Amino acid sequence: MSKRSRLVLILVVLATCFAFLWPSVKWYFVTPKEDQALALGSREKIKDYARNMAVADLKALMADARAEKTDPVDSRYAALEKEAAKTYKALKESVPPVWTAANLLHAFSSEADVQTILEDNYRSRILGIKNTQANAVKLGLDLSGGMSIIIKADLDAAAASQKEAISDLATFKTEAMAQAMDTLNSRIDKFGLSEPVIRQQGEDRIYIEIPGAADSERINSLIMGKGMLAFHMVDDEASSAFLQYYSEHPTSTFDAEYNLLDPSLIPADDMLLGTYVKDAYGLDERTGFLVVKKETGLEGKHIQGATTTRNNISGQPEVNFELDSEGTKIFAELTANNVGQRMAIVSDDKIKSYPTINESIPGGQVRISGFNSEEAENIKAVLRTAWLSVPLTLENQQVIGASMGAESIQQGLWALVVGLAAVLVFMLLYYRGAGFNACVAQVLNLFILFSVLSALNLTLTLPSIAGMILTIGMAVDANVVIFERIKDELRLNKGRVASISAGFDHAFWAIMDSNITTFIAAVFLSQLGTGSIRGFAYSLAIGVVSSVFTALFVSRLIFDFDTDVMKRKNVSISWRIK
């Protein structure tokens, strides 16, 4: 490869790595701590924060307008200013040179429009920060502190309870695990905890990581609690009255945990529940509230199966589910007595759908329509919660304190810095000028390693740091092999250019052989190992590739730069060779 091609390749790699690493730099070094705390909260918490801040900003803006203040509005209203300017231009009015509270509100037809813009601005900012965090290198529990849980799903027991309705056991187990993980994700997010990590291990185990300080008893109760699916009739009159009150008192209806401040707002035999849909992240997002009857119309245990189809005439998506004999009788009576009323499908105290009963349904075959394809799949998944009931048992739980995590970070960083410094000092002292090439290659090696970790969204743990430290030694090994081959060529009285070229050529396969075998070992570790072993294997495998690149390309380019640009005739590589 020509010198120019090597230079272009290195620049492209470094630019790409910087793009990969930027989310991590932005998250850990640019984002304020208070914004990090908001972004790490549940999506419900983010939505509540955005709405409450928007309401507070709107009140402050209206107060300033009533007081006829002429001072420019605060910078937090920049999004409003942009929309207001568009409105003034559309109405062919001159845009005010200074935005005051009065002329800013004048551009909008209602307070709801102002609140919507303010809320969207807060939400998009926090979700943007959350997206940055999602693309940054994560700290494992051994570094950040938190709790890890391993849960076993008894798929055999779940299959035994539904053996008459199962046509394919493997498909049943796959769907059962997917539903169990979705339910756990929903429960954890519901309680406003930090962003969890939930993934399947093997066929029947679920691994959960909850970073930060956590109440283990509270989390266990919400994770292991059995969520019941049931059908409740909607109290439309009470719902209308409550929603009217809520629209007039948006800030004084609930407390911080969304409990009613005045329980008398709804009848004694009713209960208030939120309506939810799946958001773009696949999590439940509250869209409103409905008042439903406390009495259960039909329990979910009577559901035997759920599928999605399309109407033969309209082509619209439909959800079909089948009831057992007892459920058929209950549902026939329920629908006959409530034609024209809405029926809420409730799972884990969340209303997932509230279709209208158009006619009596006596046969046990139920069809629900009136939504798009994505909503149909979500409702089907909710209905399957009832009949894909998977018993969960807690197998293992570990809690790591935040102080211990901070201490681990400090010790890991010290080990990395001291190890790198010791290696660099040795290379400079032993190989003189050529040692500088190795130092640059080492720094770039770590830069590439962190960038790839960020690009692959991997988690940084103490074993991962150990893999990085090992990579430092292995990267130096490649440079040592190259430098010793160059020294051999210089002893044969060859010139600078010939010695460097021959040194790299002769060292190539020795470097490749040793690193390929290490890479193969790392691959096997990543496949056969679990948890911390995988973290070590991933960082080692990435480090092997990056160290080969920096040793063969970066170091070679520095030698060529000294030859072609600095016009050096000799190679500063040993105290005994001049």
Q: What are the residue ranges of helices labelled H in 135-195?
A: 141-144, 155-161, 169-190
* Burial degree of 210 (CB within 10 A; 0-12, 13-18, 19+): buried
Output the tens digit of pLDDT for each of the chain's 578 residues. 678 888 888 899 999 999 999 999 999 899 998 888 888 776 667 777 888 899 999 999 999 999 989 899 998 899 999 999 999 999 888 899 999 999 999 999 888 899 989 988 998 899 899 888 888 887 777 777 777 788 888 888 777 766 666 777 888 788 788 877 777 776 665 444 455 677 888 888 888 877 655 555 555 655 655 456 788 999 999 999 999 999 988 888 888 677 888 989 999 999 999 998 776 445 677 889 999 999 999 887 787 777 888 877 777 788 888 888 888 999 999 999 999 999 998 877 888 888 888 888 888 888 877 666 766 776 676 666 555 567 777 787 777 665 555 676 777 778 878 888 888 898 889 888 888 888 888 889 889 988 988 888 777 777 888 888 888 777 788 888 999 999 998 888 888 889 999 989 988 888 898 889 989 998 888 888 766 687 788 888 998 899 889 888 888 888 988 888 888 888 888 787 75
Count helices and strands (H / E) in the chain. Answer: 18, 15
* CATH class, 3-23+402-564 region: mainly alpha
Residue 336 dihedral angles phi and psi, to the nearest 5°: -65, -35
Residue 177 dihedral angles phi and psi, to the nearest 5°: -65, -40
Q: Domain boundaries in the chain? A: 3-23+402-564, 33-136, 146-400
Calpha distance 429→81 (Å, rounded) = 62
Q: What is the DSSP letter of 228?
A: P
Question: In angstroms, how far is the first alpha carbon of the chain from the final one?
Answer: 29
* Architecture of the domain made up of 146-400: 2-Layer Sandwich (3.30)
Of 197, 231, 228, 226, nearest in space to 211 by CA: 197
Calpha distance 172→157 (Å, rounded) = 12
Residue with tokens 């929903």: 186
Q: Given 3-state DSSP classes, what are the helix, strand and coil percentages for the chain, each rounded to the nearest 5?
A: 60, 15, 25
Calpha distance 260→468 (Å, rounded) = 53
Q: Give the pTM.
A: 0.62
Is beta strand 350-353 parallel, antiparallel or unpaired with respect to 270-278? parallel
The two structure tokens encoding residue 159? 């299959």
| Per-position b or e across 340-372, b if 16+ CB within 10 A of its CB | eebbbbbbbebbbbbbebeeebeebebebbebe
